[in-house]
């Protein structure tokens, strides 16, 4: 789906992480969504809204709503390189949330839907499972480095989300820029 939100932290993760206090969970969710936002911005995969407010009837506890890429808007645009670049942006964006929460001491959960979506994107753009695994390993390390290099931006976005609950892309970019993030 074009522009589908990454709304994939669920109450199942809340139980798995053993976070009983609502405020502790809000911090984890805020960092998770901030990690998505920073990784998406770094990869020039635009988003338009971030929230840590769950929607009624939705299991998610936070979302980063992404905008369609130029390739998604151009019908018939599909080459191997273009597909690989699109997958890189998507996977790094998906991995950003787990990489950010891992820095809080919460282990990466490879069973959650966003991680499965990353695996599917890698398989679509590679010729075999071994290549897909190597591609995913490389992108996981790259994402961890992006989050580590831009930790002040992740913290600034997470703090804003904890105070306000949601933010527009314009505000997120401003907050990231003020925290010293210049790429994106």
What is the pLDDT at residue 56?
Answer: 57
What is the pLDDT at residue 160?
Answer: 95
Q: Domain residue spans in the chain?
A: 5-178
Mean pLDDT, 10 residues at a time, over the chain (184 residues)?
38 51 80 90 80 67 67 49 80 92 88 85 83 89 94 95 92 94 72
Please tell me the distance from the alpha carbon of residue 53 to that of residue 25, in angstroms, as a whole number.
12
What is the pLDDT at residue 16?
Answer: 55
What is the pLDDT at residue 3?
Answer: 37
The residue among 142, 123, 143 whose CA lies nearest residue 132 is 123
Report CA-CA distances (Å) from 169 to 13, 61, 179: 26, 19, 15
What is the pLDDT at residue 177?
Answer: 94
Which strands sit side by side in the sheet containing 5-6, from one edge to the other?
5-6, 63-66, 47-51, 166-168
What is the pLDDT at residue 70?
Answer: 53
Which CATH topology does 5-178 take?
Methane Monooxygenase Hydroxylase; Chain G, domain 1 (1.20.58)
């Amino acid at each position: 789906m074009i522009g589908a939100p990454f709304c994939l932290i669920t109450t199942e993760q809340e139980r798995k992480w053993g976070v009983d206090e609502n405020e502790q969970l809000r911090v984890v969710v805020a960092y998770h969504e901030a990690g998505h936002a920073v990784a998406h911005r770094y990869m020039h995969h635009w988003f338009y809204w971030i929230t840590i407010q769950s929607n009624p009837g939705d299991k998610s506890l936070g979302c980063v709503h992404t905008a369609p890429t130029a390739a998604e808007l151009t019908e018939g645009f599909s080459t191997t390189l273009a597909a690989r670049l699109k997958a890189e942006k998507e996977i790094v964006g998906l991995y950003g949330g787990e990489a950010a929460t891992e820095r809080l001491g919460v282990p990466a959960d490879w069973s959650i839907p966003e991680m499965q979506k990353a695996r599917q994107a890698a398989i679509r753009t590679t010729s075999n499972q071994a290549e897909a695994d190597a591609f995913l390993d490389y992108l996981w390390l790259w994402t961890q480095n992006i989050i580590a290099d831009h930790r002040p931006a992740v913290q600034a976005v997470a703090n804003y989300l904890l105070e306000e609950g949601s933010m527009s892309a314009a505000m997120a970019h401003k907050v990231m820029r003020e925290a010293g993030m210049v790429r994106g």
